[in-house]
Homo-oligomer: A and B are copies of this chain.
């Protein structure tokens, strides 16, 4: 998606450790008009799928998922990363490892909100090693819902997640795929 690539080139900042900071428009400060354009693009790429629910994971996926959901006219469910006293009853859980935070945590979704009748589109901001996405896919599979696909804003194509997800047969759409990056350059696939 050219608008996204242009914005990454303009406002993205590469940091040591293969970190791409897009916190001025995507995941700390959020440019809502721009994110609406991402939402429209996700709708265009999954227009023929009978999506009933958008699934994401806290925290930085939530805003993107909510804006995108307006084009699908479906609810959002966001997976939580830690047990809370507000989450009781039956829950689906999966363990995932965070690249950003360098720790393992449980990802949790109430069973009430994913059923075998659901057709699920997963949306998230980044795909790197794929652990978060694989955890969400695991939960969708446990619920009996149909996984219609996954929409990612930025895929780090030089990490293994995208290949792993595609090898699973998942319909994966990444709006920008970065093949490699240096301090001075971001190269897209």
| A positions within 8 Å CB-CB of B | 15, 17, 19, 21, 23-24, 27-33, 35-36, 58-59, 62-63, 65-67, 69-70, 73-78, 80, 82, 84-88, 100-102, 109-110, 112-113
- Asked whether B100 lies within 8 Å of A85 as measured between CB atoms, the reply is yes
CB distance from A179 to the nearest CB of B (A): 21
Contacts of A15 in B (CB 8 A): 86, 88
- Asked whether A66 lies within 8 Å of B32 as measured between CB atoms, the reply is yes
Name the prevailing secondary structure of the A interface residues: mixed
- Asked whether A63 lies within 8 Å of B76 as measured between CB atoms, the reply is yes
Contacts of A62 in B (CB 8 A): 58-59, 62-63, 66
Measured in the bound complex, the distance between the Cα atoms of B32 and A28 in whole Å is 21
- Asked whether A110 lies within 8 Å of B78 as measured between CB atoms, the reply is no
Q: Smallest CB-CB separation from A72: which chain B residue?
A: B32
| Copies held by the complex | 2
- Asked whether A75 lies within 8 Å of B31 as measured between CB atoms, the reply is yes
Q: List 30 A-B contacts (CB under 8 A).
A: A19-B86, A23-B86, A23-B110, A23-B113, A28-B77, A28-B80, A28-B87, A28-B109, A28-B110, A28-B113, A29-B77, A29-B112, A30-B66, A30-B75, A30-B76, A30-B77, A30-B78, A31-B75, A32-B66, A32-B70, A32-B74, A32-B75, A33-B73, A58-B58, A58-B62, A59-B62, A62-B63, A63-B78, A66-B67, A67-B70
Measured in the bound complex, the distance between the Cα atoms of B126 and A6 in whole Å is 37
Contact with A17, one of B30, B36, B67, B85 (Cβ below 8 angstroms): B85
The 3 nearest A-B residue pairs measured at CB: A58-B59, A63-B66, A59-B59
Q: Known: A23-B86, A24-B112, A66-B67. Is A59-B30 also a contact (CB below 8 A)?
A: no
